[in-house]
Chain A
Amino acid sequence: MTTAFQIPIEDYICISPLIFLFIGSLIPLTLKVLRGNREPNPSVTLCLALLGVVAALAVSCSLFPKMTPYYAFSNALVFDGISVLSAILVCIVTAVAAVTARENGATTGPQFTEFLFLLLNSAVGMLLVAWSNDLIVTFIAIEIMSLCLYLLIALSHEELLSKEAAFKYFVLGSFASAVFLYGIAFVYGLAGSTYINIVAQYTATLAHQNSLFLVALVLTLIGFCFKVAIVPFHAWAPDVYEGAPTPVTGFMATGVKIVVFVAFLRFIHLDFLLSDKSGHLLPVVEWLAVLTMTVGNIAAIMQSSLKRMLAYSSVAHSGYVMIGLIAAGLGEHARGGNEAVMYYVLAYTIMTLGAFGILTLFEKSEKDISQIDDIRGLSRRNPWAAVMLAVFLMSLAGIPPTIGFFAKFFVFKAAITQGLYWLAVWGAINAVIAAYYYLRPIVYMFMRDEDGVVVADRYNLTWVVTAIMALLTVGLGIATQPLYEAVKLAARSLL
């Protein structure tokens, strides 16, 4: 007798955002093929792709109240609050990237259709990363996401840096993926499963009895750390962030981090930090967090290119999320940890999208990379651009009452709740170091008498998007209660 292999309809409903994104990616491409490979009007392409993204966003939002974890596709995917929250965030990030790419010299024009196809498929990969309950699915999803990203970077009309960046990212990324896969192989060999919820049941015994499990954990951790640019696995980040077209940089810096940190969060809930033997990893991950913050911040101080500075600052922010992750990994009272991670990632997404959005405004052609000298006196030429960039930088520095302040607040609170005092102190010290380089562009824009060359361009859509981000940065900071409640609701449903 054969049992019919049936998939319940609920599973399809759950992955419908993904389906919408995928369809959205196909329509423009099909259109182009039907037109005999002639590039359609970019605005039309954009609208069609956005249709898919908005549909995905709408479905994700409607799924949000559904909070009990639901395992779909024979446990390969899990749908809980965090899945839905990250799906919403990824959709927003994708929409912003698509809109800003339409107006950026490095991405618009010929091959914009292909660009959108890759962008949306990268988003498909991202959703899978965030939803995956199976380490193998996580691996495949990360590959889908990354392969699209390599191409997105290489597709840039800028010839030199982008190709180097894409190749560098590809080589190092593949290497890290291999390490990650090796780690998963060990996990499977020891636990007999790659499902996170099943491995979690064996963690305590495995960690106690088998030293190989430690190897498995370390290898998998390295894979995650590489993807979110944790020092010392961050070396690719500045080059890639700088070489990629700015809309893609914004997309990578936020989207990839959201979903990989969510996957990381699920992984750390294997609770290996709690067991006596693999608990030895605790000081290691703590040091990783400290190093990430410190190296990221100190390197950011020395940068003269704004994009590179933001790249290093993004590395430093990974360190802060790492503090939240460690707090979450320490179990029981971990509620604060999950929320801290999710809130931080969310806040970081809004601020970073805004900051890269402003950088996009500065670029007149694909070859432009704004140096910090170029924005001298910007407040006289483009007061609004200057004010918005200042808002984003202040928020990244954690000045109240912006969203960035509350993000730091929740991370520190989670750390102190778990007794990670010295991590909190390192976080505080780094906030001060970071303030120095976040203030520097503000000094250049507002306080220098000389004039630089940069003028913010009339990219209407980008202006709208960045203005929305600026409003959210301040508005959600002052009215942080509903946002925090939503994040808390989402985080509570985690395993």
Chain B
Amino acid sequence: MLLSIITFLPAVFALVVWGVASEKTAKKWTLAFTIVEFIASLLMFAHFKPGVAGLQLVEHRSWIPAIGVDYFLGVDGLSFWLILLTTLLTPLALVGAWTSVNKREKTFCLTVLFLESTMVGTFVAMNSILFYCFFEASLVPMYFMIGIWGGPRRIYATVKFFIYTMAGSIFMLLGIIALMLIYAKTHDGQISANITDFYKLHGQLPFVAGTFLNTQTLLFFAFSLAFAIKVPVFPFHTWLPDAHVEAPTPGSVILAGVLLKMGTYGFLRFSIPIFPEAAEHWAWVFFLIGAFGIIYGALVAMVQPDMKKLVAYSSVSHMGYVMIGLFAMNPQGIMGALYQMLNHGVSTGALFLLVGMIYERTHSREIKDYGGLASIAPLFTIAFLIVTMSSIAVPMTNGFVGEFLILLGTFEANRFVAAFSVLGVILGASYMLWMVKKIFFGKPKGVVVEKHEHGLDLLPREIAILVPLVILIFWMGLFPNTFLRYSEASVENLVQHHGQYEVQAPKVLAPHLRVAAREGVR
């Protein structure tokens, strides 16, 4: 029951907010509810066993038995932390929007709550159609969030975001249907869309190395395209800077923090385990575009005059690391990728929050308008510096652990890629530090002087949301094992059984399957 509760609690809360709250009180209600949701998600610790590779907290009921679509929820080491990341970032993002979103606040709160529901749903769904429903449905609230509360070019950005993502995922839908039919063909016509059943298809998906027109390669790319756009990997990234720049602060935080992870999570859940041969054979493609994305994102970030755009491009660069880590396909690489997903959620989420805070005061995101902020807003400076350190992977922060593991794994898999990608660390440091230098040091100038009297430093409310993130940055940097041990077993299982990967789920059969099983016995 717990996973259902975590998934649908925000949606139920949305209805409550809609019914109870007024325009004025909506944000307070929503904040309280998202905190309740976070606490509810913490209950997973009580039931989740870290050393187990299979699915836990499983719920399996039939939904549309005629086409093998079950209401099948489960969590394992791959998704555990992503759920918590979602439920943590949502209230923080909401507080980040406390004063910046000031029109149609109630609608905004509904959007946030529905978005949270769909995001959590994406990570816990273990049936591919259910996954697809959440994956697509998450577009809708995000579409409204950017489109209603965004910047001047919000409509262009949000339509581009929607169409781009949908263009990828519709082919994934075709892929899912094809897998369902292949499963039915090889299992006496018993149709199923459960991801755990797709894992059993190894050996059933014909693969011819080097050619493109074979079942496994086509399906692999049908799924990978959807996720590559969502991540986004280098040539498909153009929607991201637009969406980030136009989105309101909470939109950027959730987009960078959680929505991008749906893409990398998809690789981990679908592309790599279901199509092992294709994933191995075509890994070079993702190495190439991943590594290229790291350098490209960093180089483009270097020349951005706009803070938010700079952070957006740094996302492209960071997600490149995650990609090469995933396709290294060894424990270190995947572990690092998983860790980097969380790091990116924490540190980029924090960066967007910080940029949003300063923008709210000065109404400028142009780096050239700033200078000498350190002497005027010391607390803000400290927070920004810590987050920057995390973003550029300085040891003792979380970023270091992730990037180190990824580069370690990649080095084992492919030295050239590792050598090439490591350049990104240097470039990352250079653009982030360049921005820090321009904004915080030197003589106060530009908007810093003009808006001085308004008080530029952090308010208690803002400190309250930055503190947990800063604590996480150091906790994850100093004691990574607290986090890694929850994922280790699942990642080991994924890597060691590459080619015959299966995820064990406790035997909770859906009613129609129970009937089928009984008939099978007879």
B133, B148, B159, B181: the one contacting A439 at CB < 8 Å is B159
The verdict on A431 contacting B166 (CB below 8 Å), with A399-B136, A436-B159, A447-B154 known, is yes
B144, B162, B177: the one contacting A446 at CB < 8 Å is B144
Q: Are B144 and A481 in contact (CB under 8 A)?
A: no
Q: Are B162 and A435 in contact (CB under 8 A)?
A: yes
Q: Are B177 and A400 in contact (CB under 8 A)?
A: no
Q: Are B64 and A446 in contact (CB under 8 A)?
A: no
Q: Does B163 contact A (CB under 8 A)?
A: yes
Interface flags for A419-460 (1: CB within 8 Å of B; 0: not) read: 000001100100110011001000100111000000000000
Q: Does B509 contact A (CB under 8 A)?
A: no
Q: Does B209 contact A (CB under 8 A)?
A: no
Can you name 7 A-B residue pairings with CB atoms under 8 Å? A412-B173, A428-B174, A439-B163, A447-B144, A480-B64, A481-B64, A481-B66
B63, B140, B148, B181: the one contacting A481 at CB < 8 Å is B63
Q: Does A488 contact B (CB under 8 A)?
A: yes
Q: Does B178 contact A (CB under 8 A)?
A: yes
Q: Does A174 contact B (CB under 8 A)?
A: no
Interface flags for A96-128 (1: CB within 8 Å of B; 0: not) read: 000000000000000000000000000000000
B132, B139, B148, B167: the one contacting A432 at CB < 8 Å is B167
Interface flags for B150-168 (1: CB within 8 Å of A; 0: not) read: 0000110011001100110
Q: Are B140 and A409 in contact (CB under 8 A)?
A: no
Q: Are B173 and A432 in contact (CB under 8 A)?
A: no
The verdict on A447 contacting B170 (CB below 8 Å), with A399-B140, A435-B162, A484-B64 known, is no
Within 8 A of B (CB), among A164-218: none
Q: Across the interface, which residues of A come within 8 angstroms of B178, CB to CB? A: 416
Q: Does A401 contact B (CB under 8 A)?
A: yes
Q: Are B170 and A431 in contact (CB under 8 A)?
A: yes
How far apart sit A435 and B162, CA to CA, in the bound complex (Å)?
9
Given A416-B178, A431-B170; 13 other pairs, CB 8 A cutoff: A394-B140, A399-B139, A400-B132, A409-B67, A413-B181, A416-B174, A424-B177, A435-B162, A436-B159, A481-B64, A481-B65, A481-B66, A488-B66
Q: Across the interface, which residues of B come within 8 angstroms of A304, CB to CB? A: none
Q: Does A485 contact B (CB under 8 A)?
A: yes
B65, B67, B133, B170: the one contacting A413 at CB < 8 Å is B67
How far apart sit A162 and B492, CA to CA, in the bound complex (Å)?
69
Q: Are B136 and A400 in contact (CB under 8 A)?
A: yes
Q: Are B171 and A428 in contact (CB under 8 A)?
A: yes
In the complex, the chain A residue whose C-beta lies closest to that of B170 is A428
Cβ of B153 to closest chain A Cβ, rounded Å: 12
How far apart sit A117 and B163, CA to CA, in the bound complex (Å)?
45
Q: Does B147 contact A (CB under 8 A)?
A: yes
Q: Does A365 contact B (CB under 8 A)?
A: no
Within 8 A of B (CB), among A466-490: 480-481, 484-485, 488
How far apart sit A44 and B140, CA to CA, in the bound complex (Å)?
43
**Interface majority SS on B: helix, strand, loop or mixed?**
helix
Cβ of B519 to closest chain A Cβ, rounded Å: 19
Q: Are A432 and B137 in contact (CB under 8 A)?
A: no
Q: Are B173 and A435 in contact (CB under 8 A)?
A: no
Q: Across the interface, which residues of A come within 8 angstroms of B144, CB to CB? A: 446-447
Cβ of B156 to closest chain A Cβ, rounded Å: 10
Q: Across the interface, which residues of A come within 8 angstroms of B159, CB to CB? A: 436, 439, 443
Q: Are A447 and B147 in contact (CB under 8 A)?
A: yes
Q: Are A443 and B155 in contact (CB under 8 A)?
A: yes
Q: Are B64 and A400 in contact (CB under 8 A)?
A: no
Q: Across the interface, which residues of B come within 8 angstroms of A394, CB to CB? A: 140
The verdict on A417 contacting B174 (CB below 8 Å), with A447-B147, A481-B65, A484-B64 known, is no
In the complex, the chain B residue whose C-beta lies closest to that of A380 is B104
Q: Across the interface, which residues of B come within 8 angstroms of A480, CB to CB? A: 64
Q: Are B148 and A412 in contact (CB under 8 A)?
A: no
How far apart sit A394 and B129, CA to CA, in the bound complex (Å)?
18
How far apart sit A110 and B163, CA to CA, in the bound complex (Å)?
47
How far apart sit A435 and B137, CA to CA, in the bound complex (Å)?
14
A-B pairs, top 7 by smallest CB distance, nearest first, are A400-B133, A447-B147, A428-B170, A432-B167, A481-B64, A401-B133, A413-B177
How far apart sit A435 and B178, CA to CA, in the bound complex (Å)?
23
Q: Are A425 and B137 in contact (CB under 8 A)?
A: no
Q: Are A400 and B148 in contact (CB under 8 A)?
A: no
Q: Across the interface, which residues of A come within 8 angstroms of B181, CB to CB? A: 413, 416-417
How far apart sit A443 and B140, CA to CA, in the bound complex (Å)?
12
How far apart sit A465 and B144, CA to CA, in the bound complex (Å)?
26
In the complex, the chain A residue whose C-beta lies closest to that of B171 is A428
Q: Across the interface, which residues of B come within 8 angstroms of A400, CB to CB? A: 132-133, 136-137
Q: Are A428 and B173 in contact (CB under 8 A)?
A: yes
Q: Across the interface, which residues of B come within 8 angstroms of A446, CB to CB? A: 144, 147-148
Q: Across the interface, which residues of A come within 8 angstroms of B163, CB to CB? A: 432, 435-436, 439
Q: Across the interface, which residues of A come within 8 angstroms of B143, CB to CB? A: 439
Q: Are B148 and A447 in contact (CB under 8 A)?
A: yes
Q: Across the interface, which residues of B come within 8 angstroms of A431, CB to CB? A: 166, 170
Q: Across the interface, which residues of B come within 8 angstroms of A425, CB to CB? A: 171, 174
Q: Are A447 and B155 in contact (CB under 8 A)?
A: yes
Q: Are B177 and A485 in contact (CB under 8 A)?
A: no
Q: Across the interface, which residues of A come within 8 angstroms of B158, CB to CB? A: 443, 447
In the complex, the chain A residue whose C-beta lies closest to that of B136 is A400
How far apart sit A405 and B136, CA to CA, in the bound complex (Å)?
10
How far apart sit A448 and B156, CA to CA, in the bound complex (Å)?
12
Q: Across the interface, which residues of B come within 8 angstroms of A481, CB to CB? A: 63-66
Q: Across the interface, which residues of A come within 8 angstroms of B65, CB to CB? A: 481
The verdict on A485 contacting B66 (CB below 8 Å), with A431-B170, A432-B163, A447-B148 known, is yes
Q: Across the interface, which residues of B come within 8 angstroms of A432, CB to CB? A: 163, 166-167, 170
Cβ of B436 to closest chain A Cβ, rounded Å: 35
Within 8 A of A (CB), among B328-348: none
How far apart sit A227 and B227, CA to CA, in the bound complex (Å)?
41
Cβ of B32 to closest chain A Cβ, rounded Å: 25
Cβ of A68 to closest chain B Cβ, rounded Å: 22
Q: Are B63 and A412 in contact (CB under 8 A)?
A: no
How far apart sit A443 and B148, CA to CA, in the bound complex (Å)?
9
How far apart sit A488 and B63, CA to CA, in the bound complex (Å)?
16
Interface flags for B115-135 (1: CB within 8 Å of A; 0: not) read: 000000000000001001100
Q: Across the interface, which residues of B come within 8 angstroms of A448, CB to CB? A: 155
How far apart sit A400 and B64, CA to CA, in the bound complex (Å)?
14
How far apart sit A435 and B143, CA to CA, in the bound complex (Å)?
12
How far apart sit A484 and B147, CA to CA, in the bound complex (Å)?
35
How far apart sit A447 and B154, CA to CA, in the bound complex (Å)?
9
Q: Across the interface, which residues of B come within 8 angstroms of A485, CB to CB? A: 66
Q: Are B170 and A416 in contact (CB under 8 A)?
A: no
Cβ of B242 to closest chain A Cβ, rounded Å: 15
Q: Across the interface, which residues of B come within 8 angstroms of A435, CB to CB? A: 162-163, 166
In the complex, the chain B residue whose C-beta lies closest to that of A412 is B177
How far apart sit A480 and B65, CA to CA, in the bound complex (Å)?
10
Q: Which of A425, A436, A443 gathers most chain B CB within 10 Å? A: A443
In the complex, the chain A residue whose C-beta lies closest to that of B132 is A400
How far apart sit A413 and B162, CA to CA, in the bound complex (Å)?
24
A412, A417, A439: the one contacting B162 at CB < 8 Å is A439
Q: Are A443 and B173 in contact (CB under 8 A)?
A: no
In the complex, the chain A residue whose C-beta lies closest to that of B150 is A447
Cβ of B139 to closest chain A Cβ, rounded Å: 7
In the complex, the chain B residue whose C-beta lies closest to that of A481 is B64
How far apart sit A420 and B170, CA to CA, in the bound complex (Å)?
16
Q: Across the interface, which residues of B come within 8 angstroms of A428, CB to CB? A: 170-171, 173-174
Cβ of A104 to closest chain B Cβ, rounded Å: 31
Q: Across the interface, which residues of A come within 8 angstroms of B64, CB to CB? A: 480-481, 484
Q: Across the interface, which residues of A come within 8 angstroms of B154, CB to CB? A: 447
Within 8 A of B (CB), among A394-419: 394, 399-401, 405, 409, 412-413, 416-417
Cβ of B206 to closest chain A Cβ, rounded Å: 15
Cβ of A244 to closest chain B Cβ, rounded Å: 31
Within 8 A of A (CB), among B27-72: 63-67
How far apart sit A436 and B180, CA to CA, in the bound complex (Å)?
29
Q: Across the interface, which residues of A come within 8 angstroms of B140, CB to CB? A: 394, 399
Q: Are A399 and B155 in contact (CB under 8 A)?
A: no
In the complex, the chain A residue whose C-beta lies closest to that of B167 is A432
Within 8 A of B (CB), among A323-363: none
